[in-house]
Copies of this chain bind each other. A is one copy, B any other.
C-alpha cells in the first residue's frame, strides 16, 4: 500500500473543550528526514485523552485529535530513518519528540527533556487512520505481542514500568494503588519481575481480578484499619490514582528506604509530615512516562512474559461510545480502538 505524502489524514477531533469527537481530516506537515508515516491499526484510550478533550490542563488546542497509544505499520519514512523498514509494526506513546542534545536525552531519559513534545498536545494524535511523527519515537512491537494488547503499553505500560525499573528489585514488595488501566499493568509487570505484589483498591469487587492479574494480596483502600495494618510492608508503592486519599497511611506503609511513586498528578497538593519520611528514610517521588531506553526494555520484558493490557476492542468509529464509558470508569481495563 502506498501512501502519498500529500494524502489527507482522516481523524476524529473535538472542536471545543468537552465536545464529542467528529470526523475531521487534515493535511500533515511535510515528511521530515526523521519522520515516519504510520498506518494506524489500533489506538488505546488513556484517561489523559479525556483531560485533553476537556482542556483540564489548559494546554489543549482545537480541533483536538486525541490518541497516544498508537500501533500501526510504517507506510513511509524520511531519508534519515534507518532503524525502521517500511511495513514494520511500530508503536508511539505520549512522547514523540525531544531536543536530542541535552544531558537527559544523551543519557536516554528523553522523558526528562525540557523540550519534550507530546503526541497529541498542540499536534494531531492517533485517533486517525495515519500519523506522521518523528521515527525516533516509534518503537518496533515485538512479534509475540498482538497489536491490540500492545497499544496500551506505549503509555499505560511505560508509565508504570518506569518506577518499577527504577526502584523495584525481584525481592521487593510492591504495592499498587488503583486497579485500572495503569494499575493492572503494574501488577502484571511487578509479578513478572518476581516481586511480592499488593493491590490497593476502593472497589472490593476487584479483589478477584487483581489476584488473577498476579497480586498476592489485596487491601481495601477504604478500610482504614486494613491500611493501618500495612505499616512498613512495602518497598515501593505506585499510585495510579488522582483522588484524595489518606497519604500518611501509604507513607507509613513503606518499609525503610521505601518509595511512594506518583505516576499521575493528584488533583490536590500532597500534605505529609516530614517525620514520616525521616523515620525510615522513606521517599516520595513522581515518575513521568519513560525514555526510549526504558521503552525498549519494557517492550522486550512484556513480550518475554506475555504481558499485554486487558482490553476491550471497539471500532474507531465507536470512539464516542468508548469515551462516554471511560468517563464512567466502565472499562476493564483499557479501551482500544481498531480500524476496520
Q: Which residues of A contact B (CB under 8 A)?
A: 104, 109, 111-112, 114, 232, 256-257, 259, 262-266, 269-288
Contacts and interface: CB of A to CB of B under 8 A. Distances in A.
A139 to B, nearest CB: 20
B286 A285 contact: no
A274 B286 contact: yes
A270 B269 CA distance: 10
A273 B264 CA distance: 11
Nearest to A287: B281
A286 B278 CA distance: 4
Given A263-B278, A272-B284, 10 more contacts: A112-B257, A266-B273, A270-B271, A270-B272, A270-B274, A276-B286, A277-B284, A279-B288, A280-B288, A281-B288
A111 B232 CA distance: 15
A111 to B, nearest CB: 8
Main secondary structure of the interface of A (DSSP, over half): mixed
A107 to B, nearest CB: 10
A114 to B, nearest CB: 8
A266 B273 CA distance: 7
11 contacts: A111-B281, A112-B280, A265-B274, A269-B271, A269-B272, A270-B274, A276-B286, A277-B284, A277-B285, A281-B287, A281-B288
A182 to B, nearest CB: 13
B287 A256 contact: no
B269 A265 contact: no
B256 A277 contact: no
Given A112-B256, A256-B104, A256-B112, A262 B283 contact: no
Contact of A279 (B270, B275, B286): B286
Contacts of A278: 262-265, 286-288
A256 B114 CA distance: 9
The residue in A270, A278, A280, A281 that gathers the most chain B C-beta atoms within 10 A of its C-beta is: A281
